[in-house]
Structure 1
Amino acid sequence: MLHKKKNISEEKRTELLASLMESIDEAFNEVRNISHNLSPSLLSERGLKGALQNISNRVNKSSKLRMTFDTFGLDENLDGLIENVLYRTLQEIVNNTLKHAQASELFVQITQDEKEINLIAEDNGKGFDYEVVRHNAGMGLANITSGIENLNGTIFIDAKAGRGTIISIIIPLR
């Protein structure tokens, strides 16, 4: 429409373009939220370990970040809700690392015993001031926190500007 209309002022054209970009951003965020709420078939097909391998393979295809992971004692029959929350959490951690951390490496470890499951994610990025981000948290960090807390879990974020970030998550299994 902007291309076809030749008789509108540059100011109006700029205003319409800004409005259009805002609408596109809102639509993108809505699609992202919907897709994040859908249960991925990858989890039912491959389990959490296979889904983590898939995420790692996709990340490592780019030259932006090298991701490695280990799992210890991870039960193939993990509760579906726990699997889904951990998968979404991992997606958000990877997205945040790619988008904000300027890291070259990300290491993820998931361990499970009879009482709990632990996830640790550590990057070598630039870090951030956690207190500032916590009070101005976007949807990603808020979603991670609420998902973990809904499972009676705890999340610890060790982050400071000028060094990497370590995220530790503990979810009780009973």
Structure 2
Amino acid sequence: MEEFFAKEDQVIVIVLIGVLLLLLMGAALLLFFFFSRKKIVAKELEKKTLQINHQKEIIQSIIVTQEEERKRIAQDLHDDISSKLNVINLNANLLKDGELSPEEYLFVNEGILDVTDKTLESARKIAHNLLPPILAQFGLKDAIEELADSFNNSRKINIDYKILYPKKHLSPQNELHLFRITQELINNSVRHGKARNCTIKINYNSNKLYFDYADDGIGFNSENIENKKGLGIKNIESRVSLLNGQFQLKSKQNEGFKILITI
């Protein structure tokens, strides 16, 4: 009988040990899942934080770009339009006084007409920079071709272009964004890159729009983060973001500049 109870006690001990081991294993699994989940959540939070910071940088870039554009327009209005209107005002007051000889009257009148024509031309240029009429009337393809031809005619840079763009594929607002990107890239090539030649290619394939731009300028080290923080690059990045697109940028010192935008 004693031997029977001894065996029974052993079974109970074994069962208790087994239950205890199962409890320990369960606790270990719970701790493992807890800390694993904690790491996953931490990584997700880090990722979201990076995305939020990136969005903040883009928004800040858009704000800075808008302010720069406002300053430029204000400067154009002040330097170009206001000065010409002042000349018109002075000449109009001379006519108002009525103390001019017939010859002087004709001279002043011709001066007013001449400055008025120049003022209208300046106003047209400012309006063209704000929204090119050809973009609104004929679309992105014609607008980029006209832009490239104007640079070719100025001989500041030689632009070779091939644009296969389905008309009205993008909304008018998004066409304006891509047009502004093109302007920014060409201006950067001329002013900063000292490029002599550049190419613009636009293709459409598998419901994706590819914008390929390259120049033969002095380039820069694209691996350096600081080089990507310039206003021009941030402006391009912000507009690509507004287009829900992605871009790949490549540049090396004295080896030109390349960018591929996919929308």
Q: Check whether TM > 0.5.
A: yes
Structure of greater Rg: 2
| 1:161 partner SS | coil
Tell me which amino acid in the other structure corresponds to 1:31: R
Structure 2 Cα separation of the partners of residues 141 and 125 of structure 1: 16
1:104-153 CA-to-partner distances (Å, cap 9, x unmatched) read 10100011235111101111111112223113x12x22111011112210
How far the C-alpha of 1:97 sits from its partner, in A, is 0.6
Give the equivalent residue in structure 1 for 2:227.
Answer: 133
Identify which of 14, 26, 30 aligns with 2:71.
30
C-alpha RMSD over aligned residues: 2.6
TM-score between the two structures when normalised by the length of structure 2: 0.50
TM-score between the two structures when normalised by the length of structure 1: 0.73
How far the C-alpha of 1:158 sits from its partner, in A, is 0.4
Structure 2 Cα separation of the partners of residues 30 and 90 of structure 1: 21
Identify which of 133, 139, 149 aligns with 1:41.
133
C-alpha distance 39-103 of structure 1, shift in aligned 2 (>3 A): same
Residue ranges of structure 2 left out of the alignment (5+ in a row):
1-66, 77-125
1:63-87 CA-to-partner distances (Å, cap 9, x unmatched) read 2210010012x11122212211110
How many residue pairs get aligned? The number is 143
| 1:101 partner SS | coil
Higher relative contact order (CA 8 A, sep 6+): 1
Contact 2:196 2:216 in 1 (8 A): yes
Give the equivalent residue in structure 1 for 2:216.
Answer: 124
Structure 1 Cα separation of the partners of residues 215 and 141 of structure 2: 20
Structure 2 Cα separation of the partners of residues 103 and 40 of structure 1: 25
| 1:163 partner SS | coil
Aligned-residue sequence identity (percent) comes to: 27
Larger proportion of helix: 2
- Select between 76-85 and 37-46 the one with higher mean Cα deviation: 37-46
Residue ranges of structure 1 left out of the alignment (5+ in a row):
1-25
